[in-house]
Amino acid sequence: MRIDEAFDEFQRSVNEDVGQTRLARERRDLFKRALISEPDVTEAFGSGSLRRSTQLKPINDVDIIAVYDTTQHPDWGTAGLSAEDALDHARGQVNRLLGKTNGSHGNEVRLALPRNHAVKCFLDDPDDENGFTVDVMPALRQADGTLLIPEKLTQNWVPADPEHLIDLVADRQRDWEHFRPLVRVLKQWRHDVAVTGRIKSLVIEVLALDCMPTSGNRPSALRAFFTASAARVNERVKDPAELCGEIQPDLDYDGLQAALADAAELADRACAAAAAGETDQALRLWQEILGDSFPAPAAPTKPANPVTGAPALITGTPALITPRPIKDAPQG
Amino acid sequence: MLILVPHHAAATIRQAGPWGGMTLRGNHEDLAVIRGVSTRDGATFPVNTSPGQNLIAATGDVRASGYWYRVAPVLHVYWRQVSGRLGTRVPLSVFQEHLTSGYKKPGTTPYLALTYAPNLTDAFPDHNAPDIVAWRVGRDGAYPLNCLVEPSTTGISQIQDHWPVRDLQTAHVMLVGAGSIGSATAHALAGYGIGHLTLVDPDRLSWHNLVRHTTSRRHVGRSKVTALAEELTDLRPDTTVTPLVLDVIDDADRIRTLLPQSDLVLCTADGVAARRVTGHLARRAGIPAVMACVLQDGALGEILRLRPWPQHGCLTCRRQALAEHGGIDPEPALDAGYGTGTRHRPMTAVGPDLHLVAHLAAKTAIATLLERLGHPDQRLPGEHGLISLRRQPDCAPPFDLNRTGETRWLPATPPRPGCPTCETP
């Protein structure tokens, strides 16, 4: 199997299937239509990874932003109870519009619970860990085009600009067709990384915006991403709109840095192996980085070095990886 | 004899008609440069020639004239064949036969000629002959001469297929200190293809600097940064050099405002205070700093990379960690000038040793920038590099390098609690 074929196959294993993606979009659009019908809602649009097309399989949540008319809610947007009021207001609307028993636009929502920034709407059994949810986040449009969103815990409204991230991702995808698919690959990669706690998918997405090249093939781009990220993650990963600060202050940065550095080393070797025509070796190294879902070579095709009988240099791999001789071609 | 063909002359010959005249200027080194070309028998236009500047200024130079011709490709194959045989020539009849027009019969004195063979590669793909070659045409035949045709691209972009030229051409490095190490560092950074280089140093070039500095005697008395900027601009035109006659301590406020425009600051300044100030300002600006110096009277070269990362300590933190382990003696008067102070002796390092450190510092800076841009082949083995320039026995670790030329890389040390540089203000 060629390297690009292996990446194609791996990508298919990472991507959500078309039916599930379509269902998620239909549910998102249902919420959008219902919310925009409300007289105090001026805009309703999707955000999050589904909007950016960087969603990872399985899709079990969708993000909606409902922008409210400030003239109809003049008390919103300032510190105090208005943040919680906005969330309660949105919950009431969702129940009225889409509630299970008597929703006017549909009967999708079994339960709607206000959380810190959004109303989490359960479309399946709330006890189902993989149940589908829709997060509806109320917001106010500011004069500079950014949003104010409620934060229940601090009883305040905080600035945010999710559309900026949407635009950035779209621009990068226009520049290079592999950007979004590789973001999904990296989001998958993070699940197997040895870090304390979890890594937010947004951290990986912003790192990709910062460190992923805008051209080239997928292996070399991943190699560059891991290399650059291993350095840049030490500078902390921050909101690209420069409004919300650090995305995940409690992130295990040391663990993530070490994982990125390890991946960079392996990716460098994988690219070197591929360049030397050692496709199987390259596949094996990519599998080491990306996990067992990455296609392995069919079977060993090269015997152990008959001259040196060199042992395997990588524990657990066949004796196929032998030191690469330097070419005797002096320059200067 | 060697004939230099400036790009402008070559372009004219390639685009013009079947033949023309040319004038040359040569010197006693059997070197000539084309100074003017004409098409057919029209006026001769001067050629803007950078490679021949030295010939124009040379005394005792000689003028010469000749012709250029458009020829059939096979003539250049003959040129290639006879070039390898001493004293061998192409018969005049053969030479003339392959010209399209304009043939000038040689008189008693031979004349110089260039021939241009279009479509040569298509006609003879395996012969590797140049499309413009030179001849001395006399009555006994046409003898091949060497010629160098200036390529249309001569700068750093020539190597862009093998080196990340574009990434570096947009990069901006501030170099604090333009002394012995600094001048060589500047040359190395420009050699790597850094697009923008800001030089900071308050000093003027003195006689005693010449033994180690890269700048030449004719600049004595001028600001080091000005002299260096002029030389670099001449040598490496792909690098934009901005000289600033500033002292990083006295003018820290101005440096502070300039640093955010830089991707990295490299400090080769004398004295602990200047190094500390540079490191502090860089950390506040959120950019990496690379410090280069020699220790132990020039016996040890040292490169410190200070990246503004939470787990990496500043210069002071690292020095204190070394001092606590008995590795270094933090002299209180370490920032006294060379040859002054009770603990200091005159600088004893030799220029090339300093330049070796300078080049390692430049490499460290370039690698730091490129790693951050995703170039895996530019990762360094650590943050603190040591190189033995003259082996010193019985030094405390980590300076216990056993042989001259040995290098060692160490990891970073963490910030110390309460450090005014490392802790967020």
Convert the pLDDT of each residue in A46-82 to its tens digit. Answer: 998 989 989 888 888 899 999 999 999 999 999 999 9
Closest by CA to A206, choosing from A166, A239, A249, is A239
What is the chain B residue with the closest CA to A236? Answer: B309
Residue A254 near chain B (CB below 8 Å):
yes
Q: Which residues of B touch A267 (CB under 8 A)?
A: 376
pLDDT at A316 over 90: no
Please indicate whether residue B16 or residue B258 has the higher confidence score (pLDDT): B258
The residue behind tokens 């080769």 is B268
pLDDT at B336 over 90: no
Residue A275 near chain B (CB below 8 Å):
no
Compute how many other C-beta atoms are within 10 angstroms of the C-beta atom of residue B162.
7
Confidence class of residue B170 from pLDDT cuts 50, 70 and 90? very high
Give per-residue pLDDT as tens, B14-46. 998 899 999 988 877 788 889 899 987 677 777
Residue A224 near chain B (CB below 8 Å):
yes
Q: In this predicted structure, what is the pLDDT of residue A323?
A: 72
Q: Which residues of B touch A232 (CB under 8 A)?
A: 372
Mutation pick from A176, A234, A252, A262 vs chain B, by most beta carbons of B within 10 Å, is A234
Which of A223, A232, A235 lies at the smallest CB-CB distance from B376?
A223
DSSP state at residue A243: S
Give per-residue pLDDT as tens, B112-155. 999 999 999 899 988 888 999 999 999 999 999 999 999 888 89
CA dihedral A147, A151, A154, A155 (to 10 degrees): 90
Inter-chain residue contact B311 with A234, CB threshold 8 Å: yes
Confidence class of residue A289 from pLDDT cuts 50, 70 and 90? very high
What distance in Å separates residue A303's CA from the closest CA in chain B?
Answer: 29
- Residue B314, classed as helix, strand or coil, is coil
Inter-chain residue contact A234 with B373, CB threshold 8 Å: no
Compute the average pLDDT of residues A255-259. 96
8 Å CB contact between B244 and B257: no
User: Residue B144 is encoded by which pair of tokens?
Assistant: 């091949």
Which of A227, A235, A236 lies at the smallest CB-CB distance from B376?
A227
Confidence class of residue A252 from pLDDT cuts 50, 70 and 90? very high
Residue A234 near chain B (CB below 8 Å):
yes
In which region does residue A266 sit, left (phi positive, over 0), alpha (psi from -120 to 50) or beta (all else)? alpha
What distance in Å separates residue B312's CA from the closest CA in chain A?
Answer: 10
What is the chain A residue with the closest CA to B312? Answer: A234
Mutation pick from B373, B422, B424 vs chain A, by most beta carbons of A within 10 Å, is B373
pLDDT at B342 over 80: no
- Distance CA(A69)–CA(A318), nearest Å, equals 65
8 Å CB contact between B194 and B265: no
What distance in Å separates residue B370's CA from the closest CA in chain A?
Answer: 8
Percent of chain B with pLDDT over 90: 75
DSSP state at residue A234: G
Which of B308, B311, B374 lies at the smallest CB-CB distance from A211?
B374
8 Å CB contact between A35 and A44: yes
Inter-chain residue contact B373 with A228, CB threshold 8 Å: yes
Residue A269 near chain B (CB below 8 Å):
no
- Distance CA(A206)–CA(A208), nearest Å, equals 5
Inter-chain residue contact B371 with A231, CB threshold 8 Å: yes
Q: In this predicted structure, what is the pLDDT of residue A102?
A: 87
Q: Which residues of A touch B308 (CB under 8 A)?
A: 235
Q: Parallel, antiparallel, or unpaired: how do β-strands B172-176 and B264-267 relate?
A: parallel
Q: Which of A120-129, A177-186, A315-324, B176-185 has the lowest mean pLDDT?
A: A315-324
Compute the average pLDDT of residues B198-203. 97
Please indicate whether residue A303 or residue A85 has the higher confidence score (pLDDT): A85
Q: Which residues of A touch B379 (CB under 8 A)?
A: 227, 264
Give per-residue pLDDT as tens, A86-139. 999 999 999 999 999 889 999 999 999 999 999 999 998 888 888 899 999 999
8 Å CB contact between B126 and B84: no
pLDDT at A309 over 50: no
Residues listed for chain A: 332
Confidence class of residue A301 from pLDDT cuts 50, 70 and 90? low
Which of A225, A235, A236 lies at the smallest CB-CB distance from B374?
A225
A–B: how many Cβ contacts below 8 A?
40
Residue A267 near chain B (CB below 8 Å):
yes
What is the chain B residue with the closest CA to A234? Answer: B309
Mutation pick from A212, A229, A235 vs chain B, by most beta carbons of B within 10 Å, is A235
Inter-chain residue contact A254 with B373, CB threshold 8 Å: no
Task: Determine the distance from the C-alpha atom of residue A205 to the mean position of all C-alpha atoms in its chain, rounded to a whole number.
Answer: 5
Confidence class of residue A148 from pLDDT cuts 50, 70 and 90? very high
The residue behind tokens 């490499």 is B363
Q: Which of A222-231, B1-10, B251-260, B356-365 has the lowest mean pLDDT?
A: B1-10
Q: B171: buried, middle or exposed (CB in 10 Å: 19+, 13-18, 0-12)?
A: buried
Give per-residue pLDDT as tens, B45-75. 777 766 555 545 444 566 778 999 999 999 9
User: Residue A243 is encoded by which pair of tokens?
Assistant: 């409004």
What is the chain B residue with the closest CA to A262? Answer: B376
Q: Which of B161-170, B343-352, B359-368, B396-405 has the lowest mean pLDDT?
A: B343-352
Q: Which residues of B touch A213 (CB under 8 A)?
A: 374
Residue A111: what residue type? L
Closest by CA to A152, choosing from A103, A86, A213, is A86
What distance in Å separates residue A211's CA from the closest CA in chain B?
Answer: 7
Confidence class of residue A305 from pLDDT cuts 50, 70 and 90? low
Residue A235 near chain B (CB below 8 Å):
yes
Mutation pick from B309, B311, B375, B424 vs chain A, by most beta carbons of A within 10 Å, is B309
Taking an 8 Å Cβ-Cβ cutoff, which residues of chain B contact chain A?
A: 286, 307-312, 371-377, 379
Compute the average pLDDT of residues A286-297. 93
Please indicate whether residue B341 or residue B263 has the higher confidence score (pLDDT): B263
Which of B307, B312, B375 lies at the smallest CB-CB distance from A227?
B375
Q: Which residues of B touch A235 (CB under 8 A)?
A: 286, 308-309
ipTM over 0.85: no
Please indicate whether residue A314 or residue B145 has the higher confidence score (pLDDT): B145
The residue behind tokens 């805009």 is A43
pLDDT at B313 over 80: yes
Q: Which of A237-251, A312-326, B286-300 has the lowest mean pLDDT?
A: A312-326
Compute the average pLDDT of residues B161-168. 96
Q: Which residues of A touch B312 (CB under 8 A)?
A: 234
User: Residue B127 is encoded by which pair of tokens?
Assistant: 């012969």
Q: In this predicted structure, what is the pLDDT of residue B344?
A: 41
Q: In this predicted structure, what is the pLDDT of residue B235?
A: 95
Inter-chain residue contact A228 with B374, CB threshold 8 Å: yes
Mutation pick from B170, B369, B379 vs chain A, by most beta carbons of A within 10 Å, is B379
Q: Which residues of B touch A226 (CB under 8 A)?
A: 376
Q: Which residues of A touch B372 (CB under 8 A)?
A: 228, 231-232
Closest by CA to A196, choosing from A236, A255, A261, is A255
Residue A264 near chain B (CB below 8 Å):
yes
Q: In this predicted structure, what is the pLDDT of residue A307?
A: 47
What distance in Å separates residue B376's CA from the closest CA in chain A?
Answer: 6
Q: Which residues of A touch B311 (CB under 8 A)?
A: 234, 254
- Distance CA(A330)–CA(A327), nearest Å, equals 8
Across chain B, what does the average pLDDT equal? 90
Across chain A, what does the average pLDDT equal? 90
Compute the average pLDDT of residues A146-152. 95
The predicted model scores a pTM of 0.84
Please indicate whether residue B270 or residue B172 has the higher confidence score (pLDDT): B172
Inter-chain residue contact B286 with A235, CB threshold 8 Å: yes
Q: B386: buried, middle or exposed (CB in 10 Å: 19+, 13-18, 0-12)?
A: buried
Count Cα neighbours of B265 within 13 Å in the Cβ-side half-sphere: 29
